[in-house]
Amino acid sequence: MTDDCRISRRGVIAASAATVALATVPPSEGQPQPVQLGPDNSPESLKVSLEVNGTRHDVDVDTRTTLLDLLREHLALTGTKKGCDHGQCGACTVLVDGVRINSCLTLAVMHQGDRITTIEGLGQPGKLHPMQAAFVKHDGFQCGYCTPGQICSAVGMLDEVRRGVPSHVSTDLVSRMRPTNAELRERMSGNICRCGAYSNIAEAIGEIAGNKA
């Protein structure tokens, strides 16, 4: 063996020490962290307190539980639907402090103290929310699977219009926004109806928005 290929005992020890040191370096900030396990090696759970449809709930959940699964699996509020589970269809739309979100894309533990409104909280048979009544009047559904998300999204969307939040088709960012048909359709584009009831949905929303366009 030549001198260039010879490995000394000291070199082996130094290399081993370096390997151990690297293995103990904590992950850099922003990198995925391993799931924390409890004493019995089960995933860690936390208690989350939130208000859903006017009622406070204190729920122990796996830290990986989505808000959608908390509503459906823990609180039995199955009006909120699981469609694509990737935030692409809008069937799981709920209102968080009045703002519409896709509940499949957010963790339950992120909503400590928040006010959640689902389709059940908007209205019930005999006391429908105006948007629910408009969907019935204009036959804004067929199979109905997307309807809870459509209605929650429409309610949140009209509040955005009232607050002056612009969309991709807004032409005037200074004057009061006019909820035209094009404006409403653009803002509702994240909610998919596989049955294709878009015209009736637009008519229902347009009635509540006071849109004559």
Give yes or no: residues 50 and 82 share one domain: yes
Predicted local confidence at residue 99, as pLDDT: 97
Give the range of the structural domain holding residue 178, as residue numbers without chain letter: 130-209
The reply to whether 21 falls in a domain is no
Predicted local confidence at residue 170, as pLDDT: 79
Boundary (domain end) residue, out of 102, 122, 142: 122
Q: pLDDT band for position 35 (50/70/90)?
A: very low
Give yes or no: residues 115 and 136 share one domain: no
**Tokens representing residue 159 in the block:** 């509040």
Using DSSP bridges, classify how beta strands 45-52 and 55-62 pair: parallel, antiparallel or unpaired: antiparallel
The residue among 153, 152, 63, 58 whose CA lies nearest residue 108 is 63
Question: How many domains does the chain contain in total?
Answer: 2
Boundary (domain end) residue, out of 77, 98, 122: 122
H or E, element range at 164: none
Boundary (domain end) residue, out of 122, 153, 180: 122
Model pTM above 0.85:
no
The reply to whether 164 falls in a domain is yes
Give yes or no: residues 150 and 83 share one domain: no
CATH of residue 161: 1.10.150.120
